[in-house]
Amino acid sequence: MKPKVVWLQGVTCNGNSHSFVNLSGLDTLLQRYEWLYHPILPSSLSLMQLWDAKCDILVIEGGAKKGWQKGEGELEKLFLHLAQKAKKVVAVGSCAVYGGVFKEFDDTICGVLFDGENKSRYYDMLADKTINIPGCPAHPEWIAFALEAENPSLDSFHRPKELYAYTVHSGCVRNEYFEWKIDAEDFGTKEGCLFYKQGCQGPFTHGSCNKILWNETASKTRVGTPCFGCTEPDFPKQDLFSTKTYMGIPATMPLGVPKRAYLTITGIAKSFHIPRLTKRLLDED
Amino acid sequence: MKIELIEKIEGEAFLDVECKKGRIKNAYVRFPHYRGIEEILRGRSPLDALVINPRVCGICGHAHLHATALALEKLVGFGPNEKVRKIREITRFCEMVQNHVKWFYLVIFTTLDLPYDFRSIQAIIQKINRLSAIFGGQWPHSSYVLPGGITCDPSVLDIVQAKRLSNQSRELLEKLLGDFELKNLSGDLRRLFDALDAKGLLYAGKSLDRFITFGNDSYVESFKILSGKKRPAKLHYIEEFSQPKSRAKGVVYKGKFYETGPLARTMQRGERFVKQLHRRYKDSVTTRIFARIYEAHLLLKKIQEHLQTLDIGMSSYEPIEIGDGEAIVAVEAARGSLVHRVCVKEGKIVDYSIITPTQWNLANGRDGEPSLIQTALQNARCEESDIIFRSFDICSVCTTH
């Protein structure tokens, strides 16, 4: 018997559904499950039929909100009805995990286990069986991992450590510039680190964007876009394209690094001039 | 009165239909949701809109990103160079192509109970989104377009890979669809035509036969077609109006309803294949569906052309200072013209408003004048409501941003 999956949407933009469609070898994964409901992919039931459905894995995309209409019923009721039956709940995307971007408009929107950084009203009921896959959107490989993995090791936000123990900075192709504290003077170049001026949150954001590449090809920082910290409960912060600084250095430190250690290293790194890192990369002889 | 829930679209919508003797007499569209994007933007720095706005929609967020950057550039009268313009178009066209392919198969073929080759469809979607990610870093929800240019600085290697992906996508799609020759259809185009014919749907869903586009790029220009006559369209004639029982506003141009989207664009371009269909079937579901998948083919060719002629030696970005002011712009998204209006004061967004394509195509009538969707459904057989509704392609999430 194939496990039965329901993919239910709350307050969402549908970005995770579409991200999932990008999975390499999607058809092979789809065949391992019986898809009762998915908003885009082939699935057998309609929303109203879900009330009587057996559901083994419940995937939630989008935030929960009281009174939000889902089909002819109410989202929260349908969600709890299915979640109680399910053996596993996968919260996909930052809206389902923390409430997400739309929480800024309506603070009553919350995630499955978390309401921003705090535990949600469903925490006690669902903590045992819920895996959180934050990201805006979540990467399709991360979603596939959550469907397939049995009892993965989780961090305090119920995120699989295998995916979120890394920072977005790990594997970034601009790492050399970070090591020698050379900033990107502007957008639109291959050179320089985006942590110092352009607002990159990669060094303190949990995620494997530069390890498991997006669309199997790139990541934000690889195309010169700063990381906006979309896997964290405080996404989206303010002034996303500029770095807040404190006494000339970024106000938020790389994950786990004491400010004193960082200052010392910066002082030393900056005292050297590395010609290779101050030229255009492809102009190098 | 029968209430139909239209689901497995981009979000959900309700269609209230009144049937008499098997025919639709009245129809009313309701969107039950609202997510507050415009409120979220208020008080933020203008550049934050480049991150917030793609979250309007998981399937056409890239068009929202593009519109945001254009609006902010218009505030200061900046125009990007040719390289930037082409790369922005390449990624936006990629988004449109994958949109069209998804809708054609996952929505239309499914609604008509037609089988399709899922593995090939998904391979096309995956490749075209990968092409987009070479420049944009990821799809969905890239923020690589910003006022002044783009964040990436593509190399020869990137272009080589992008060309290969565009060639592969086009080959795969052409193999599935067959030729766009109305007298000699084959493949999935033939299957679709025969299914519409067998179900008596070839002439279903005829509407007002008025078309409008506001985007200005290498593919379309801003024009309206009224009674077969083409005239320039101007953004300031657009008017939004509230609709009872729905969270979405309707839109009219000089008081009239117009259809926007692939059919409007291909009519405006005078594409032979679409005009042939239109001559015979007018603006019916047949013409609308074929025009949209034909556009996927056209846009793939356009992407290939841009990749051939791209001069990557030009700069990707020029720093510009965003000033105060108000600007309104339009870009073409998969489902039609997307309008963004921004107002910045003292370096912060004080007002932002978005008009989405679905607001044009699925508005309800007012002052006794029926809208596009209402006209299309008028007197249709009751069981046809679903395919007629879906032929316009609803983006409920966009519409209820």
Q: Does A54 map to a domain?
A: yes
**Hey, is the C-beta of A228 within 8 angstroms of any chain B C-beta?**
yes
pLDDT of residue B294: 98
pLDDT of residue B8: 75
Question: Token digits for B181?
Answer: 């020759």
pLDDT band for position B308 (cuts 50, 70, 90): very high
pLDDT of residue B276: 97
pLDDT of residue A285: 55
pLDDT (tens digit per residue) in A74-128: 999 999 999 999 999 999 999 999 999 999 999 999 999 999 999 999 999 999 9
Residue ending a domain, choose from A140, A159, A178: A159
pLDDT of residue B11: 75
pLDDT of residue B5: 80
Task: Provide the 8-state DSSP code for A225.
Answer: P
CA distance B335 to B263: 9
Residue ending a domain, choose from A133, A159, A185: A159
B61 chain-A contacts, CB cut-off 8 A: 13, 15
CA distance B119 to B273: 28
Of A11, A26, A215, which to mutate for an interface test with B (greatest number of B Cβ within 10 Å)?
Answer: A215
A55 lies in the same domain as A117? yes
CA distance B294 to B400: 28
- Output the CA–CA distances (angstroms, integers) from residue B399 to A98, A149, B142, B296, in the order listed: 24, 36, 20, 23
Q: What's the average model confidence in pLDDT over B283-292?
A: 98
Instruction: Residue A171: name the closest of A232, A229, A230, A214 by CA.
Output: A214
A155 lies in the same domain as A170? no
Q: What's the average model confidence in pLDDT over B71-90?
A: 97
- Is the separation of the CB atoms in B331 and B217 below 8 Å? yes
**Hey, is the C-beta of A219 within 8 angstroms of any chain B C-beta?**
yes
A50 lies in the same domain as A73? yes
A217 lies in the same domain as A151? no
The C-alpha of A105 sits at a distance from chain B's nearest C-alpha, in angstroms, of 6
Cα-Cα end-to-end distance for chain A = 61
- Is the separation of the CB atoms in B17 and B6 below 8 Å? no
Q: Does A221 map to a domain?
A: yes
Q: Which of B11, B137, B150 is the closest to A219 by Cβ?
A: B137
pLDDT of residue B9: 75
A16 lies in the same domain as A118? yes
Kindly report which listed range (A230-239, B60-69, B246-255, B258-267) carries the lowest average pLDDT score: B246-255
- Contact between B55 and A101 using a beta-carbon 8 Å cutoff: yes
- Output the CA–CA distances (angstroms, integers) from residue B245 to A165, A278, B198, B249, B375, in the order listed: 47, 60, 37, 11, 20
Structural domains of chain A, count: 2
The C-alpha of B21 sits at a distance from chain A's nearest C-alpha, in angstroms, of 26
Q: Which structural domains are found in chain B, ordered by start?
A: 2-399 (1.10.645.10)
Q: How many CB atoms lie within 10 A of CB A21?
A: 22
Q: Are strands A130-133 and A88-92 parallel, antiparallel or unpaired?
A: parallel
- Contact between A219 and B161 using a beta-carbon 8 Å cutoff: no
Q: Does A98 map to a domain?
A: yes
Q: Does A263 map to a domain?
A: yes
Q: In sequence order, what DSSP letters do the residues of A233-247 get, joined into one string?
A: TT-S-S-TTS--EET
A127 lies in the same domain as A145? yes
Find the CATH number of the domain harbouring A35.
Answer: 3.40.50.700
A185 lies in the same domain as A145? no
Q: Which of A41, A46, A186 is the closest to B7 by Cβ?
A: A46
Q: Does A285 map to a domain?
A: no
Q: Which residue of A has its CA nearest to B32?
A: A69
What three-state secondary structure class fits A77?
helix
- The residue segments making up the domain with residue A180 are 166-278
Q: Does A127 map to a domain?
A: yes
Is residue B287 scored above 60 in pLDDT? yes
Is residue B150 scored above 70 in pLDDT? yes
pLDDT (tens digit per residue) in B33-52: 889 999 999 999 999 999 99
> pTM for the complete prediction?
0.97
A99 lies in the same domain as A171? no
Residue ending a domain, choose from A129, A159, A189: A159
Find the CATH number of the domain harbouring A212.
Answer: 4.10.480.10
A212 lies in the same domain as A124? no
A35 lies in the same domain as A130? yes
Q: What's the average model confidence in pLDDT over B393-397?
A: 76
A151 lies in the same domain as A178? no
A218 lies in the same domain as A89? no
**Hey, is the C-beta of A68 within 8 angstroms of any chain B C-beta?**
yes
Q: Does A284 map to a domain?
A: no
pLDDT (tens digit per residue) in A209-235: 999 999 999 999 999 999 999 999 999
Q: Which residues 94-133 on chain A approach chain B with CB closer than 8 angstroms?
A: 101-102, 104-106
Q: Does A150 map to a domain?
A: yes
Is residue A284 scored above 70 in pLDDT? no
